[in-house]
């Protein structure tokens, strides 16, 4: 099992105050292995001294409603989410799953991250963010990691549900290899929960599912994606990742892979080759056809539904 998520702090948050600089340096090596009880109180107290919010973690209950949000930026702006979604209080959901591209220029201004934090409680235990290309193309990755308190890729367990978060933007060989090892561990651990939910921004499985029409559904064909270096047939999704899914499925695991880079061509996608492995896509693009993916966790079973955005707003605003 991986260690708990890492707390990453940026010196830029403390550079104007010598006390904050000292505190930052003291906290920089802190690793949060268990975000409960007194540790949470201590970390939140220290974080508050340098202006970092530390919202209360949420846990999945026996019956929980989750929402997946992909490609939700407001066209024509740099720092807004879709204005229809901005009317929703997302605290009413037990889990918020972010599929990337939250804003057109998510990290161009740090204030944008503060706004997103207010909306989604980015460091809550049941808020997870698979980064999109629009989220990181301005750099400033530390602004995101500061607020999420997690690495770019990781996995965590909620009772009988494991959530795996992928970063499909990686281009560093060492990081790519580390992510592949993480994914392998998440899928093959003997004590892994029965249900495994994988989140990514890009639909890196489009080529693998070409016959199912994914190339006409997803926003972008991601054929150049590789699980690790070198750039070779052996590191494609089909050769390096899909066998891991099959092995996990053979051991009785149910796997649900959701990608958020949808909406420009089609808002929804779902396909299963065998009833145990599911590929889904969900995203919006200021269209009357936009839909939102909601998931329900009840009696240790996962179910889902695509709801038109207008109905979603009417129900949850």
> Dmax over Cα atoms in the chain, in whole Å?
59
With 0.75 as the threshold, say if the pTM is over it: yes
User: How far apart (Å, rounded) are the C-alpha atoms in residues 141 and 64?
Assistant: 31
Backbone angles phi, psi at 256, to 5 degrees: -130, 115
Backbone angles phi, psi at 259, to 5 degrees: -110, 145
pLDDT of amino acid 218: 84
Domain boundaries, the chain: 1-54, 58-316
User: How far apart (Å, rounded) are the C-alpha atoms in residues 289 and 149?
Assistant: 35
Instruction: With beta carbons less than 8 A apart as the criterion, state whether 264 and 285 touch.
Output: yes
Instruction: With beta carbons less than 8 A apart as the criterion, state whether 306 and 268 touch.
Output: yes
pLDDT of amino acid 62: 58
User: How far apart (Å, rounded) are the C-alpha atoms in residues 187 and 242?
Assistant: 11
pLDDT of amino acid 279: 96
Lowest-pLDDT choice from 29-43, 88-102, 103-117, 250-264: 29-43
Structure tokens at 19: 């006390």
- The listed range with the strongest mean pLDDT (8-12, 205-209, 257-261) is 257-261
Backbone angles phi, psi at 230, to 5 degrees: -85, 175
pLDDT of amino acid 309: 96
Q: What order do you get walking across the sheet with 161-165 strand by strand?
A: 154-158, 161-165, 195-200, 254-259, 277-282, 268-271
pLDDT of amino acid 290: 96
Q: What order do you get walking across the sheet with 127-129 strand by strand?
A: 127-129, 95-98, 63-69, 291-298, 301-308
- Say whether pLDDT at 45 is over 50: no
pLDDT of amino acid 4: 37
Query: For 92-117, how does the pLDDT look when each residue is reduced to its tens digit (9 = 90+)?
Result: 999 999 999 999 999 999 999 999 99
Question: What CATH number labels 58-316?
Answer: 3.60.21.10
Structure tokens at 119: 């909306």
Structure tokens at 15: 């550079």
Instruction: With beta carbons less than 8 A apart as the criterion, state whether 127 and 119 touch.
Output: no
pLDDT of amino acid 44: 43
Query: For 141-183, how does the pLDDT look when each residue is reduced to its tens digit (9 = 90+)?
Result: 999 999 999 999 999 998 789 999 999 999 999 999 999 999 9
**Residues in the chain, how many?**
317
Query: For 58-75, how does the pLDDT look when each residue is reduced to its tens digit (9 = 90+)?
Result: 456 656 899 999 999 999
């Amino acid at each position: 099992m991986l260690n708990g998520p890492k707390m990453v702090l940026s010196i830029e948050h403390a550079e104007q105050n010598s006390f904050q600089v000292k505190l930052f340096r003291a906290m920089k090596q802190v690793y949060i292995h268990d975000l409960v009880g007194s540790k949470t109180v201590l970390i939140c107290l220290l974080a508050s001294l340098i202006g970092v919010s530390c919202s209360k973690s949420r846990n999945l209950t026996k019956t929980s409603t989750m929402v997946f949000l992909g490609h939700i930026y407001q066209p024509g702006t740099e720092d807004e989410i879709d204005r229809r979604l901005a009317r929703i209080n997302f605290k009413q959901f037990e889990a918020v799953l972010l599929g990337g591209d939250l804003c057109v220029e998510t990290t161009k201004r740090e204030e944008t991250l503060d706004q997103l934090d207010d909306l989604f409680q980015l460091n809550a235990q049941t808020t997870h963010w698979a980064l999109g290309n629009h989220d990181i193309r301005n750099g400033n990755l530390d602004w995101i990691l500061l607020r999420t308190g997690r690495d770019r890729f990781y996995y965590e367990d909620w009772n009988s549900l494991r959530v795996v978060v992928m970063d499909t933007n990686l281009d560093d060989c060492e990081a790519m290899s580390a992510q592949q090892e993480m994914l392998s561990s998440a899928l093959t651990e003997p004590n892994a929960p029965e249900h495994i939910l994988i989140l990514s921004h890009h639909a890196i499985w489009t080529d693998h599912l070409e016959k199912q029409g994914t190339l006409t559904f997803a926003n972008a064909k991601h054929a150049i994606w590789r699980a690790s270096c070198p750039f070779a047939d052996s590191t494609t999704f089909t050769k390096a990742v899909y066998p891991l899914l099959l092995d996990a499925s053979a051991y009785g695991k149910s796997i649900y892979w959701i990608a958020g880079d949808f909406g420009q061509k089609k808002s929804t996608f779902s396909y299963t080759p065998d009833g145990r492995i599911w590929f889904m896509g969900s995203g919006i693009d200021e269209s009357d056809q936009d839909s939102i993916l909601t998931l329900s966790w009840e009696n240790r079973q996962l179910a889902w539904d695509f709801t038109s955005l207008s109905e979603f707003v009417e129900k949850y605003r």
